[in-house]
Structure 1
Amino acid sequence: MGSDGYVPLFETKKVKGRVIYRLFSVSIFVGIRLILVYRFKCIPREGEDGRWVWIGLFAAELWFSLFWVCTQALRWNRVYRYEDDLPKVDIFVCTADPMIEPPMMVINTVLSVLAYDYPTQKLSVYLSDDAGSEITFYALLEASHFAKEWIPYCKKFRVEPRSPEAYFLSISDPNDVKETKEFVAIKKLYEDMENQIGRAAKLGRLSGEQQSKHKGFSQWDSYSSIRDHDTILQILVDGRDPNARDIEGRSLPTLVYLAQEKRPQHPHNFKAGAMNALIRVYEKISNGQIIHNVDCDMYSNDSQSVRDALCFFMDEEKGQEVAFVQFSEGFKNVTKNEIYGSSFRVGMEVEFHGLDGNGGPLYIGTGCFHRRDTLCGRKFDKECTNRWYMKNDPRSEVSLQELEAKSKVLASCTYEENTQWGKEASLFLTFSNTGLKYGCPVEDVITGLSIQCKGWKSVYFNPETKAFIGVAPITLPQTLVQHKRWAEGNFLILLSKYSPAWYALGKISFGLQLGYCHYSFWAPSCFATLYFSIVPSLYLLKGTPLFPQSSSLWFVPFAYVISAKYSYSLAEFLWSGGTILGWWNEQRIWLYKRTSSYLFGFIDAILKSAGFSDQAFVITAKVADEDVSE
């Protein structure tokens, strides 16, 4: 406690050994400079064999040098956050395809956040179904009934994790559970629900008996296809209703289903469009000051996560400048040696802490808590202090039916035309004035950048127990497709007028600029990698030397930079919890990514920026057959 009585709600610690690492980094920088000096001084004369190849290598090494400088921004000033203590939160869960994202996986995520250790009257959960699937709505309806038993069970027995599937899998022997009778009963209820939803998903339709369970199914009468339907909105549980109670008589969180209106002639802007529709709708229903969004495959693994996030927002001295708190991700299906390098281990355990030390991490689209005002376009100013505590009830005396009818309008496909949600167009990127940004495959990254450019900071929180557990790509095609989308999206941001290289100049720290550029440079790195992978090998066959002899002093910087870089990379990977074989697989997959994903991402970004192709959003599959899992 300070002399003025101030007690911080969170602690920030700078990583140990920063001075040693910076000296190490400077030594590599010196080695790189010597390599470039050698390459420049020893260029073959005009007419000598290998002159242009040598110049090509010089250009590639210059590019690698620039890329390396950007990576230092992710490591130069790492900080780690720790919660010390804890005080209306609206949760957005997004799904897009019931085939790729099975309803039971979605429901487990919804149930895990419904059961947060937080006052239920201050908690609302919204499921955005971009597919407008009747099966997903049915699954959510069944989950709303199961929640009346599940939430009290979780709180009574302090269950962790609160995803039913993950919890039941964690119990190897039911006889070891003290509450055996209650455990058997709740597991049977879950299995019954799972069987009903599974049968409906397998048939691809609902029976008349199932449809008669709720009036909401009538909204599918006008449904034509996944790309052509009215807004479908249903408040399944109204937290303010005295009758919305669990089996112990306590109030339940509000639970809402939304499928925004879609028409073939109107762009729906994929996940960003769905999120913006949610933001408009929730303002009429609950209007919490904190928005928490999580992907449907990323269940809550820690029921205290809401309280952890609020520590950063509510800190008296530092909380007023925090726009969003980004949690790290964990994955339940990653093998010990990470065959396809899907866990983004070093990014989560090292690089994002480096970004945090320079003003905050990127917004990665899931596991994130946002201050509502920042998503609505507000710039940071000193008046922002504690403003989010103000209570604002949007409901007044409006009936549930009236509320649903008024809210549907806000999710229409034409709502953004000629309103404050309108957009200004750039060459190829649409930058919405309010809400998430459009026109980019990584709409979350550009949204986070735009928020930080308005003066806000962000926080990266990486607790020992991962707050969110999801599903990583487990096949090579899935991995390459995912990275192709990421590389393409980040390169599109670099090419746009909202590029971190110039739009962010003077608005965010230089270190954070370099951090954004690091990911933006993924795509163009393919060319230097391809050049180094192909050309020197061909000239080696001809006997033309492109590197210094081992007896030459110029060999020293080459040997030092290569050995030091890979040694540190290995140490970093092992420190992050990986294995030696996992690190080797990571190096192998990076070569695959740079020579395929990044190349195709670069080509697509150029075509889109020139207007020759349209934006597409590829969803990574969340399921795999037994052979693939093995």
Structure 2
Amino acid sequence: MSPALFFSKSSATVHNSNVSEWTAMKKLYEDMERRIDAEMKHGDISNEIKAQHEAFSEWSSKTTSKDHQAIVKILIDGRDKNAQDTDGFAMPTFVYVAREKRLNYHHNFKAGALNALLRVSGEISHGPIILTIDCDMCANSSQPIRDALCLFMDEERGHEYAFVQFAQYFVNLTENDLYASSFKIVHEVYFPGLDGQGGPFYTGSCCFHRRECLNGRIYSHETNKIWLERQRPKIHEESIGALEERTRSLATRSYEENTQWGIEMGVKYGCAVEDIITGFTIQCRGWKSAYLNPKRAAFLGLAPTTLSQSLVQIQRWAEGHLQFLLSKYCPLLYGFGRTKLGLQIGHIFCGSWGFSSIPTLIYVVIPSVCIVHGISVFPGVSSFWFAPFAFVIAFSNAFSFWESHFYGATFKCWWNGNRMDLYRRTTSYLFALVNTTLKLLGIADSSFVVTPKVAHEESLKRYEREIIEFGSTSPMFTVLSTVAMLNLFCLIGGAVKVMAGGGMGSLEQLSLQFFLCAALVFINLPIYHASSFRNDEGRILMNTTLLSVVIATVACFVPIF
């Protein structure tokens, strides 16, 4: 768990059942943080502090979060009979692991961290079941452990399952889900549908794994009894110091050199969605996965609270899925004959997010620009072909609203979802496509951008009031603002031109384009408000507004031949 996130105001609601305990922990942490900062200002750690905290014995003035040695510390030894909580119950073994990082060495981001943990835990406990969970998630009850074990240990089919994926829910969503972060349809429709096609994706968090599957084992028909005998936890007689020293080498940067870690063993390297590709290759080895979505959410976390955070997160997902689609693990090629076609199609659908940005941009730009020039791109109202267009528009939106309402969404929640779908397609998906293309051409390298979840107090207040947060210079905001201004200018310019020409016939021919343009203007109302009427720090910056106005004006009045 990230301390900054765990003790942030936005995280307080997660721990409301133990407020006093959470507050006491926060005070202890802040006190420790102040003492550490005080020592760091001196550029050295005093002998007194080193005596109290053994880990500081390896600290030097050059140590940073991105450049440090491997650290393995057993904080609680489960073998010790005195290791008990305040109620007298036995405590499990608790280990702190920090893998080695060096500035000139690629550490493979989250995948590298998980593989280091796999190796170290394999020597200390060798527990047969592993839970992977992000630092911004926490368990909501003990029931998920029992549910997952029931599947793994089922006498008839338990041996088929490699991992059990739980739904991810968030406690800080606004009433109308401002940034469409709940992904309700994915939880209620998409993933349950994959359950019949070999199982859902591994999403990187809230997932229970068989250790042997992550280590590359191919599926066989061995019984659970044999599996459990093989996977019994290790019992070490050696001292804590010796065990720490022996396992520290497993977390060093050189351990994986010229090995199959990240290739055939462990979590896969080379992709921004290492979790998805790892889960897919496990399924291609014959294993199945299961999806559980209990009434009481198994795990709770924090969703992005600014538009920038949300779009960057979606960009990383879209970029990773596209890399997966274009890699040697392409679902249709690598998965052919190994997995069901439905599962392959599910991966293809996600992998194609980036490509959908191009037709979306064409759809929100070309028809609107053509209004100003009096060019019809859709059938007129009097045309026979108007009916199919009108039917598709009406039916798709009606079904989308019914589906959202069926799973508890309000009209405003559905509208926010449509807005975010448009914003994601024209920014996150577009940037994912561009970045992937540049990487394939060797012009740029892939990077892993961590989505920050700790919001400033004023920003958090605006989020709770469902006011969209812009407030920074970003190419994404320039694209969004330009598209919004373009549609506004085209709607006004087209209406003036039709009225000036007295052309009801022209209006009849351009009716669908006016409808589309007006819908885009209405959905972009928060952008106009943030550009012209807001004075808070979450507004769209003036330089972004001016640039978008210039680009939109030029696009409106450039002649179309």
Same fold (TM > 0.5): yes
Q: 1:403 aligns with which of 231, 240, 243?
A: 243
Distance of 1:409 and 1:222 partners within structure 2:
23
Q: Which protein is richer in strand relative to its size?
A: 1
Map 1:399-438; keep pairs closer than 5 Å: 399-421=239-261, 432-438=263-269
Aligned amino acid, residue 392 of structure 1: R
Name the counterpart of 2:407. Answer: 576
Name the counterpart of 1:439. Answer: 270
Distance of 1:244 and 1:513 partners within structure 2:
48
Name the counterpart of 1:392. Answer: 232
Unaligned runs of 5+ in 1: 1-92, 110-160, 170-186, 424-431
Map 1:470-619; keep pairs closer than 5 Å: 470-619=301-450
Name the counterpart of 2:220. Answer: 381
State the TM-score, normalized to the length of structure 1.
0.68
Distance of 1:321 and 1:268 partners within structure 2:
33
Aligned amino acid, residue 401 of structure 1: G
Map 1:118-517; keep pairs closer than 5 Å: 165-168=15-18, 187=20, 190-201=22-33, 205=37, 212-221=51-60, 224-383=63-222, 385-390=224-229, 391-421=231-261, 432-517=263-348
Distance of 2:272 and 2:89 partners within structure 1:
42
- Contact persistence 2:167–2:298 (CA under 8 A): yes
Distance of 1:455 and 1:264 partners within structure 2:
39
Distance of 1:268 and 1:238 partners within structure 2:
29
Residues 1:589 and 1:190: Cα distance change in structure 2 (over 3 Å):
closer
- Contact persistence 2:439–2:445 (CA under 8 A): yes
Residues 1:206 and 1:518: Cα distance change in structure 2 (over 3 Å):
farther
- Contact persistence 2:219–2:286 (CA under 8 A): yes
- Contact persistence 1:260–1:413 (CA under 8 A): yes
- Residue 222 of structure 1 deviates from its aligned partner by 7.7
Distance of 2:400 and 2:36 partners within structure 1:
48
Q: Which range moves more in the overlay, 218-227 or 580-589? A: 218-227
Map 1:39-118; keep pairs closer than 5 Å: 101-102=4-5, 104=7
- Residue 270 of structure 1 deviates from its aligned partner by 0.7
Distance of 2:211 and 2:156 partners within structure 1:
19
Q: SS of 1:498's equivalent?
A: coil
Distance of 1:387 and 1:561 partners within structure 2:
56
- Residue 535 of structure 1 deviates from its aligned partner by 1.0
Unaligned runs of 5+ in 2: 40-45, 462-561
Distance of 2:292 and 2:143 partners within structure 1:
13
Aligned amino acid, residue 339 of structure 2: I
Residues 1:223 and 1:394: Cα distance change in structure 2 (over 3 Å):
farther
Distance of 1:581 and 1:239 partners within structure 2:
51
Name the counterpart of 2:545. Answer: none
Q: Over residues 461-506 of structure 1, what are the superposed CA-to-partner deviations in whole Å (9 max), with x where a residue is unaligned?
A: 0111111110101111111111111111100111111111321122
- Residue 525 of structure 1 deviates from its aligned partner by 0.5
Q: SS of 1:299's equivalent?
A: strand
Aligned amino acid, residue 324 of structure 2: I
Aligned amino acid, residue 414 of structure 1: S
Q: SS of 1:370's equivalent?
A: strand
Q: SS of 1:357's equivalent?
A: helix
Q: What percent identity do the matched residue pairs reach?
A: 46
Q: How many residue pairs get matched?
A: 452
Residues 1:587 and 1:202: Cα distance change in structure 2 (over 3 Å):
farther
- Contact persistence 1:228–1:263 (CA under 8 A): yes
Q: SS of 2:353's equivalent?
A: coil
Q: SS of 2:354's equivalent?
A: coil
Distance of 1:623 and 1:387 partners within structure 2:
46
Q: Over residues 375-425 of structure 1, what are the superposed CA-to-partner deviations in whole Å (9 max), with x where a residue is unaligned?
A: 00111121264443125343432221111011001011010113342x5xx
- Higher RCO (CA < 8 A, seq sep 6+): 1
Name the counterpart of 2:452. Answer: 621
Residues 1:370 and 1:387: Cα distance change in structure 2 (over 3 Å):
farther
Distance of 1:615 and 1:386 partners within structure 2:
44
Distance of 2:440 and 2:329 partners within structure 1:
13
Distance of 1:320 and 1:223 partners within structure 2:
49
Map 1:15-54; keep pairs closer than 5 Å: none
- Residue 355 of structure 1 deviates from its aligned partner by 1.6
Residues 1:334 and 1:190: Cα distance change in structure 2 (over 3 Å):
closer
Distance of 1:447 and 1:105 partners within structure 2:
32
Q: Over residues 446-473 of structure 1, what are the superposed CA-to-partner deviations in whole Å (9 max), with x where a residue is unaligned?
A: 1111111111111110111111110101
Aligned amino acid, residue 389 of structure 1: L
- Residue 103 of structure 1 deviates from its aligned partner by 5.7
Distance of 2:8 and 2:113 partners within structure 1:
19
- Residue 611 of structure 1 deviates from its aligned partner by 2.3
Distance of 2:189 and 2:89 partners within structure 1:
42
Distance of 1:105 and 1:277 partners within structure 2:
28
Aligned amino acid, residue 88 of structure 2: G
